[in-house]
Amino acid sequence: MEVFYLRPTNGRANDQLRRNHSSQYISIPGYPWEKLRKETPGEYEAYVDLVPAEWTGIKIVVKDETARLYVNDASQPTLIVNHLKQGKDMRGSIGLWIGPGILGHFTDIKVTKED
């Protein structure tokens, strides 16, 4: 699976390195965050201003092997992944997930396929 995830408590942390880990891409199997962070530091993570317990708008645009993550109606992507690890011919489902012990809500979900 190809995964984008957000860490809301990192968005306004006082530690800059922790802030830089507020958005992240991983790909399972084969590319967990630990491996990507070690082998390609900073390439699959980026800062984004997040506030815990506030609504966060997310848009993900995928075209061929490139995915762009947009947060809170930003005109520019927060994170760009130029080579999705599963490849451009991947098929499957879309899932929404939150970590253990975390409370999360989802609303107004839209999936659009462009020609």
Q: Running DSSP on this structure, what letter comes out for residue 75?
A: S
Mean pLDDT of the chain: 92
**Residue 91 clears pLDDT 80, i.e. is over it:** no
Whole-number percent of the chain with pLDDT over 90: 75
pTM for this predicted structure: 0.90
Confidence of residue 101 (pLDDT cuts 50, 70, 90): confident
Over residues 85-107, mean pLDDT: 83
Over residues 2-29, mean pLDDT: 95
Nearest to 26 by CA among 47, 60, 3, 57: 3
For position 77, what pLDDT does the model report? Answer: 98
Residue 46's CB is within 10 A of a number of other CB atoms, namely 19
